[in-house]
A and B are shown apart, each in its own frame.
Chain A
């Protein structure tokens, strides 16, 4: 699948700093949550995408896609954020997002809020970008751990990423992938749902954690730090020792530069 505007064309050969690159000019939208609370995921994306030949940029004027506002009933507040997104990310070949729900917000909801824009059309969730745009499945990663994968609801049902993340994980050397029972059940995060309906959210989380623990995995991964914040927050509270690690961090990890747990 190629993006609809033919913008991928011949890749640029020189970035703004004069460094020679062979790949497309890619903007990172790590999302406000990852930028603020999970910077290691965004750094991993930089390493991964540059390793694959992309010319990576992080436009500093980016803030938030407006998903929290829109999903809670504040569409009017989300509208200017959608407009700002279209401006900030205009002119790049692609925008890559380590979050199915934020990528879904941009691609599916932004056009309703402020009309369609090249930036929204060229926005991809990470696994989509790797498999569909770059056409790679084996990204040369090494991650010698037992891993189970939680497919996040919006990546699955809004974007339809299917088993792309799983194909990427299967190609990682040293990684033992253990299927997650009832994988497609929501973890209970749901943005402000986790606060407004905290008890129901926690009941959903409890079942998700039981499934994760049943796999015996050391690491639970997903394509979205918001869901991992929920699952990981619960696993940490119960002192299970199972670590939440974003898909980008696994894919960025190599034998030479292995993933290191943040304290």
Chain B
């Protein structure tokens, strides 16, 4: 089993990557504008529904029902898809999934495929694996086109090119056969349209992800805004769908809940423009060969963690990214994973399953625990709870000999006894002699991490407890 590509090999730790990103004023401007806009829109469309909290609870409970019974639900899905003419494949990890997809593409004797925007295929690095096998995978979602042609990495789940502005996009599109004449959004979209139409009409194979897979009808659901996904899902002869195992829903009627939760949370729309649903193969209509690849890639080990498993409820809406004050400043690439932001900080480390890796271990700390993510999550994932839970696992993995662990042990020893605590207070108050003109603006490391940008409080000679003892004791 190879390395799980859910985190990008060679990425710096979050603090290092964030430092670099924070220096990019263009990036910060682009992000602030984009996230502020989408935040406001989401808030107003969510406020339209009186039963939003009930919907969230329904979403949470359906997902928990699935997770409690995942093996049975997946077998039901397999039976239903097979009965309707589809072929189901099971992939333990990224390597296995990539091999299955490459073999299926090669069977169709083609060296180019079109792709519907899909997080699962990005997670497993499918495009790179196909390229290694001589197959060119063409992204067709507009933002994915920008990322792919820019030889870039995604920075957002829903809007992977959120870090780019239109001037940058015009530059990137210059390599198209018919490049855009200006950076007017309509001109840019038209250039992409011409580039993509040719691909849709010639492709024999399409590859997609899935938003939902309905176990009782064997139906796969993809929701999107552009219609480019619909082209891929209907025009080619062969369709291959890679779906994370947690995307299964027990019943057709469950879609009622999720088709309300997802568009309002992600694009801030009441209803997404395109909802494609297919069940196996329909003779004479659409793809005549359908393959469903069910992907584990760290999901069952995540499921084994009682606290961490709630991350598997995620429906990839990205509401948590849009409200996250950390994401807004650093952007998505700083997380070093196809899953950025608060959900990425809990999902990527769990899927990767290796907290000994410095980069992965830095992700659960990429949060001030402000809780804005939990507040907006349509399936009520308590992200702060999982973050602190994963931090404890990181601490466990690092062992007791790190400077931090030793400092924390010492602090716990001090807090464990009133006399030691009072002695430490007295020692702390000595820092007042470092103050100049009533401010304490320079402390030795690690206090310098604070005083580099902020003054520290001048600890007074008399603590409150000393005052209390003197006056009330």
Contacts and interface: CB of A to CB of B under 8 A. Distances in A.
Interface of A: 30, 32, 34-39, 42-43, 46, 58, 60-64, 66, 68-77, 80-81, 84, 153-154, 156-158, 184-186, 188-205, 229-230, 232-234, 236-237, 262-263
A77 B408 contact: yes
Interface stretch (B87-95, B147-155, B222-230, B388-396): B388-396
Contacts of B388: 70-71, 73, 75
A75 to B, nearest CB: 5
Nearest to A152: B370
A195 B450 contact: yes
Interface string B45-73: 00000000000000000000000000000
A71 to B, nearest CB: 6
Contacts of B134: none
A199 B438 contact: no
A64 B459 contact: no
B434 interface: no
B184 interface: no
Contacts of A74: 392, 395, 405, 408, 412
Interface stretch (B76-84, B164-172, B242-250, B415-423): B415-423
A185 B465 CA distance: 33
Name the 8 nearest CB pairs between A and B, nearest first.
A190-B368, A233-B454, A73-B391, A157-B371, A186-B370, A77-B412, A39-B464, A73-B395
A199 B22 contact: yes
Contacts of B391: 71-73
A32 B369 contact: no
Contacts of B365: 192-193, 196-197
Interface stretch (B270-278, B293-301, B322-330): B322-330
Q: Which of A62, A195, A200, A232 has the most CB of B within 10 A?
A: A200
A189 B456 CA distance: 13
A116 B409 CA distance: 25
B448 to A, nearest CB: 9
B173 interface: no
Q: How large is the interface on B (under 10, 10 to 19, 20 to 34, 35 or more residues)?
A: 35 or more
9 contacts: A36-B463, A46-B468, A58-B465, A60-B465, A84-B416, A157-B370, A198-B15, A202-B452, A236-B454
Majority-rule SS of B interface residues: helix
Given A77-B408, A198-B449, A237 B441 contact: yes
A113 B450 CA distance: 30
B411 interface: yes
A186 B415 contact: no
A159 B428 CA distance: 31
A43 B22 contact: no
Contacts of B462: 39
Nearest to B441: A237
B367 A190 contact: yes
Interface string B419-448: 001000100110000000011010000100
A251 to B, nearest CB: 17
A37 B366 CA distance: 27
Interface of B: 14-15, 18-19, 22, 28, 325-326, 329-330, 364-372, 374-375, 388, 391-395, 404-405, 408-409, 411-412, 414-418, 421, 425, 428-429, 438-439, 441, 446, 449-450, 452-457, 459-460, 462-465, 467-469, 472
A133 B81 CA distance: 58
B366 A197 contact: yes
A43 B454 contact: no
Contacts of B408: 69, 72, 74, 77
A183 B172 CA distance: 38
A153 B369 contact: yes
A237 B455 contact: yes
A35 B395 contact: no
Contact of A201 (B368, B394, B438, B469): B368
Contact of A229 (B28, B394, B452, B457): B457
Contact of B457 (A38, A43, A61, A186): A38
Contact of B453 (A32, A69, A193, A202): A202
Contacts of A230: 454
A73 B392 contact: yes
B465 A186 contact: no
Contacts of B421: 32, 63-64
Contacts of B472: 58
Given A34-B464, A39-B464, A229-B457, A69 B411 contact: yes
Contact of A188 (B368, B411, B439, B456): B368
Contact of B370 (A37, A63, A81, A190): A190
Q: Which of A32, A73, A199, A201 has the most CB of B within 10 A?
A: A73
B471 to A, nearest CB: 9
Contacts of B418: 60-63
A70 B385 CA distance: 11
Contacts of A192: 365
Contacts of B375: 157
Nearest to A262: B460
A194 to B, nearest CB: 7
Contacts of A233: 450, 454-457
A34 to B, nearest CB: 7
Contacts of A66: 415
B399 to A, nearest CB: 12
Nearest to B366: A197
Nearest to B420: A63
A35 B452 contact: no
Contact of B330 (A42, A200, A263): A200
A197 to B, nearest CB: 5
Contacts of B325: 185-186, 188, 204
A104 to B, nearest CB: 9
Nearest to A193: B368
